[in-house]
Amino acid sequence: MKLPPTYDASANEPEIYKLWEDSNIFAADAKSQKEHFSIMMPPPNETGTLHIGHALGTTLQDILARHARMQGKDVLWLPGTDHAALPTNALIEEQLRKEGITKHEIGREEFLRRTKEFVSQSRNTINKQIKVMGASVDWGRSRYTLSDPLSRIVNEVFVKMYNDGLIYRGYRIVNWDPKLETNVSDDEVEYMEEKTKLYTLKYGPFEIVTARPETKFGDKYVVMHPDDKRYAKYREGDQFEAEWINGKVKATIIKDDVIDPSFGTGVMTITPWHSQVDFEIAERHNLDREQIIDLQGRLLPIAGEFNGLEIDQARPKIIEKLKTKGLLVNVEDNYLHNVATNSRGHGIIEPQIRLQWFIDVNKPAVLWKGKKLSFKQVMQTVVREGDIKIIPATFDKMYFHWIDNLRDWCISRQIWWGHQIPVWYSEDHNGQEEIYVSVLAPKSDKKWHRDPDTLDTWFSSALWTFATLIDPVLTKNYDLSLEDLLKNSPDFQAYHPTDVMETAWDILFFWVARMILATTYATGQIPFKTVYLHGLVMSENGGKMSKSKPETIIDPIEVINEYGADALRLALIQGMTAGSSQKLVRSKVITNRNFCNKLWNIARYVENFGQGNNQVAPQDIADHWILKRLIQTKDKINNDLDNFRFSDAYNKLYHFLWDDLADWYVEASKVKANKDLLIYILKNTLIIAHPLAPYVTEAIWQNLNYDDRPLAAQSYIRLIDHDEVMANNFSLVKDLVSETRRILHLLNEKDISLIYLKDELIYKNQTLIKKLSGVKDLKEVSVGSGLKLTGLTSSVWLAISPEKAEDYLKKLKQRKEQHLSHISRLENRLNNKSYLNQAPIEVINETKKQLDDFKKQLIEISREIKAFEAI
């Protein structure tokens, strides 16, 4: 079947993915004797459709999976979706609000029914999108975080941690979102800068500074640094009476090192119920704490006349009263203040003390290499000692800083969608609360009620690498312990620890660190050997994509529908560096669509030579050279992919295909074609390119009927040898042709002869040189004249007049001046601290690359000028 004139991605890609699925070539085999390779897809949230960031992650993971298969490994790339408790709950509640009802009106059962219906539709959409992107996942092992098998493992881990004394229930301060009426984790709190007023208030003999006067009703402690000389006369425990918002209060002096003497007046009153810092001070000094604001964000009776008011309503009224009482000292406008918001539901966070479930991160928890370590210690140890490698290593410092400051993890949420906490409560005959913690509900005659809260989504997703590998059938047997389930699951034994976790850097703490915590505890193993962190994909103007600005959002499916999946995949890895954000501009996608078309056109040329045979052998210098370049490209790309240098692999493939194969070897073959070698080179180019551009390579492979097995099932092969001398001889011819082309282009000359002193290489390859260089003819002479080529060991001239030669030298000098100007401009830019601090890293890297290229070209131009002037 003849290849069409152009590659039509939309016509080929659906059929190709169906071929892959029907061939079952992405199914892993835990019993295989091959080396195992495993990678878990970070499960996308079931809250809608995939975005361009998912497309990048899917592309990188797919490259790794296909590359490993072609290395002859048994590969498991496990897909799945996350129930995404908080964002999904927020979305359904928003839908209810639009209907004019609340979740409490429809009840828990109906709320869950609606949510299940929504996520089921979303899951189908997401899986279709993953297929469109070309993901070579094992669909037979797809997992869902809220499925029965995974829920069993979630409950097992909770119960085990509880029995080991690592999960406890207690009153601690949490991040409360009044809008969604739930706690959120520290990592889900997003700080938004806003300008507000900063108030200085008189409190007895002191002046205090606050941006939140509505929290001050219960303040009865004044805290200062013990070394602050301004307040040396005050002793710990001193008391005084002060006029305050609703009358007189009796206040106590507290000394604590946490106070910053340079902020405000260096003295502050504390609100232990509504501030993490204040709560910790109260804990250290065993102080009272009172709730000022309720869970709906309204003031409580302690606020007196302001009882029931929302914060925004109450604040100006409180300030007016303070002013009337002479307690308002100063108001500073435009104070830049960080407001804590819920990144999922966007509600304003109000710290509250609540009875919740926590994981103790400081208590000895994990037996690791003979030592009992706390969760904090084991998370640090596995990275510090190299058990887990983070790429790029620049994130190590950030990772350790986060763990150093890690507090006990609040894992309970007051939402209905998610894993309900496996805890039941009852009362004994004395009216005391009894707690029953178990994977299964209690069977006694007592009246038990289950804890209504659900677990933080990150608790369940923290188990992803190992819970997904436990045999789902075994999870139905409740006589088996967690240890039994792991030991008797072939997939866990074959594929864990996984080889790599590829994900976005912004969930390093949300998810990656917590997988280390949970997996080392539950299995005694690390969850993965390498963590590769990709950056964010930015809009064309370099800004972050935002739902509030629809024009900034790039829909990957729309791009694929227009240009094809391979064009998008290649554009995403072109110029990409680990951990760095990058812009996705349309021109990059178009460039890579053209790249796919170039490969297609090479295949159209080669298909004219039939199927070829097994008698492949190089015949001339071009054959030996292309074999050398193919071997070098294959080895270097393999090395790049082994070491997660995706952009470097792309660059090598791009230049091999476009420069070496298309511009040189295909053109050389038009002089004398080695048909069998052309087919051999194309076949192996398709194999090498397949992990990066799977669709177009498979389309060519199928259309040209190269094998009964799909290209996706092929392996890298050992390429046939080449003769180094012959290959180097073509490189010499290539240098001669390149310099000739460059000079002819610069002088805008045609019909020029190439003359040379006796040279066997040139003599034997006259036809090839003439064809490639575009000269009129080649002549062997005893004495040379004209413009001597300077980049060669042979004596070769272009037969042009001295005037033309002088004109060429003049243009060379002009080019040198232009390059010097470019170099100066780029060096000034890179010496500008403002530019280095503000420009995106990929822009800075591109500037460095441009500077390096100009400097290399300047060396060549200067060498050529020097050689001409010496003639």
pLDDT, mean of residues 544-565: 80
| Nearest CA-CA partner of 139 in 18, 32, 14 | 18
Q: What pLDDT, on the 0 to 100 scale, is given for residue 275?
A: 86
pLDDT band of 815, cuts 50, 70, 90:
confident
State pLDDT tens for residues 156-194: 999 999 999 999 999 988 988 888 888 887 777 888 888
Contact 572, 55 (CB under 8 A): yes
Does the pLDDT value for residue 61 go beyond 90? yes
- Give me the residues paired with residue 51 across strands: none
Q: How far apart are CA 727 and CA 836, in angstroms?
A: 44
For residue 833, CA distances in Å to 542, 577, 580, 851 come to 20, 22, 19, 17
| Nearest CA-CA partner of 796 in 805, 785, 804, 807 | 785
Q: What pLDDT, on the 0 to 100 scale, is given for residue 2?
A: 84
Does the pLDDT value for residue 869 go beyond 70? no
Q: What pLDDT, on the 0 to 100 scale, is given for residue 545?
A: 66
Q: What pLDDT, on the 0 to 100 scale, is given for residue 153?
A: 98
Q: Where are the alpha helices (DSSP H) in 608-759?
A: 621-642, 646-655, 667-669, 675-689, 694-703, 724-747
Does the pLDDT value for residue 605 go beyond 90? yes
Q: How far apart are CA 14 and CA 49, in angstroms?
A: 19
- By mean pLDDT, which of 107-111, 364-368, 591-595, 797-801 is the weakest? 797-801
pLDDT, mean of residues 612-625: 90
Q: How far apart are CA 227 and CA 243, in angstroms?
A: 27
Q: What pLDDT, on the 0 to 100 scale, is given for residue 56?
A: 95
| Nearest CA-CA partner of 694 in 786, 789, 566, 554 | 566
- By mean pLDDT, which of 121-135, 205-219, 791-805, 810-824 is the weakest? 791-805
Q: How far apart are CA 484 and CA 651, in angstroms?
A: 48
pLDDT, mean of residues 848-862: 88
Chain centroid offset of residue 677 CA: 41
Q: Residue 821: CA atoms inside 13 Å, Cβ hemisphere, count?
A: 6
The rounded percent of the chain whose pLDDT value lies above 90 is 71
Higher per-residue confidence, 206 vs 543: 206
Q: What pLDDT, on the 0 to 100 scale, is given for residue 1?
A: 61
As given in the structure block, the two tokens for residue 211 are: 């941006």
State pLDDT tens for residues 442-492: 988 788 999 999 999 999 999 999 999 999 999 999 999 999 999 999 999
Does the pLDDT value for residue 860 go beyond 60? yes
Which phi and psi angles does 426 have, rounded to 5°?
Answer: -150, 180
pLDDT band of 239, cuts 50, 70, 90:
very high
- Give me the residues paired with residue 367 across strands: 372
- Give the chain's mean pLDDT: 92
pLDDT band of 361, cuts 50, 70, 90:
very high
pLDDT, mean of residues 699-725: 94
Does the pLDDT value for residue 664 go beyond 60? yes
Q: How far apart are CA 525 and CA 382, in angstroms?
A: 10
As given in the structure block, the two tokens for residue 124 are: 């189908």
Residue 720 one-letter amino acid: I
Higher per-residue confidence, 508 vs 657: 657
Does the pLDDT value for residue 804 go beyond 60? yes
Contact 375, 361 (CB under 8 A): yes
Q: What pLDDT, on the 0 to 100 scale, is given for residue 550?
A: 63
State pLDDT tens for residues 362-410: 999 999 999 999 999 999 999 999 999 999 999 999 999 999 999 999 9
Q: How far apart are CA 436 and CA 447, in angstroms?
A: 12
Q: What pLDDT, on the 0 to 100 scale, is given for residue 791?
A: 72
Q: What's the CA dihedral at 547, 553, 555, 558 to 10 degrees?
A: 120
Residue 584's CB: how many other CB atoms inside 10 A? 21
| Nearest CA-CA partner of 195 in 333, 343, 317 | 333
| Nearest CA-CA partner of 678 in 620, 729, 623 | 623
As given in the structure block, the two tokens for residue 44 are: 């996308």
pLDDT, mean of residues 73-90: 93
Q: What pLDDT, on the 0 to 100 scale, is given for residue 512?
A: 95
State pLDDT tens for residues 732-759: 999 999 999 988 887 888 889 999 999 9
For residue 497, say if its preceding peptide bond is cis, omega within 30 degrees of 0: yes
Q: Where are the alpha helices (DSSP H) in 393-510?
A: 395-404, 457-461, 464-467, 482-487, 490-495
pLDDT band of 594, cuts 50, 70, 90:
very high
For residue 626, CA distances in Å to 430, 658, 666, 667 come to 88, 13, 10, 12
Chain centroid offset of residue 645 CA: 14
Which phi and psi angles does 691 have, rounded to 5°?
Answer: -60, -30
Does the pLDDT value for residue 871 go beyond 60? no
Q: Is the dihedral of CA 472, 473, 474, 476 positive or negative?
A: positive
- Supply the pTM of this predicted model: 0.88
Select the highest-mean-pLDDT range: 47-51, 259-263, 678-682, 842-846: 678-682
Q: Where are the alpha helices (DSSP H) in 453-512?
A: 457-461, 464-467, 482-487, 490-495
Q: What pLDDT, on the 0 to 100 scale, is given for residue 87?
A: 86
